[in-house]
Amino acid sequence: GMTSHDAVMAVRRMLGVRRVGHTGTLDPGAAGVLPIVVGKATRLVQWMQKADKSYRAEMTLGVETDTLDAAGKTTAMNTDFAIPVSRLVDQMHLQLGHILQTPPMVSSVKVDGERLYKAALRGDEVERPKRAVRIDHIEIIKIFPHGTLDLNFGARVLFAVTCSKGTYIRSLVADIGRALGCGAHLSFLVRTR
């Protein structure tokens, strides 16, 4: 529930230091690594933000939301599908390399000088330019329910991903769900590196 800015403010209060920054926004619904830099180290932010990141994520199939994650309102539901796991693996592998990705409306990306989440709070949908990102590694860790041959409504897929700066795992999951024809949302995210 804490934003990256909240974390910076908490460290400022704890240390009594004005110059504090973070090296890459982490969504309030996510957990994990958020490097904080203090004092003269804030000069390193511009280089540290460019570093690749790794995540452990869970996608839930059959439900789409307005925020592309579990915090959002359901916008579409598909309860009637049976997708072979091999098809999911193929779709995930199609995401490897350089891809174009549309950032979610609820994000800190600026369009015309305004952060998208502010427009989303007003209920506005803003044209968002696609951005070039890179997926270096994507691997399924576990599928729930365990032992299933076909993925059905409510199936959850825990996976690991390593990607470039600026990649939205929520958008990655939504894109995979659309490509599978069942829809999906990000139900869990932790940044591991």
Asked if 106 and 72 touch (Cβ cutoff 8 Å), the reply is: yes
Decide if 80 is catalytic.
no
Asked if 185 and 168 touch (Cβ cutoff 8 Å), the reply is: no
Alpha carbon distance 118, 113 (integer Å): 11
For 112-138, b/e burial (b = at least 16 CB within 10 A) is eeeebeebbeeeeeeebeeeebbbeeb
Beta-strand pair 184-191/36-38: unpaired
Choose, from 27, 52, 112, 136, the residue flagged as catalytic: 27
DSSP state of 104: P
Q: Is 179 exposed, middle or buried (0-12, 13-18, 19+ CB in 10 A)?
A: middle
Asked if 153 and 78 touch (Cβ cutoff 8 Å), the reply is: yes
CB-facing half-sphere around the CA of 174: CA atoms within 13 A = 21
User: What residues are labeled active site?
Assistant: 27
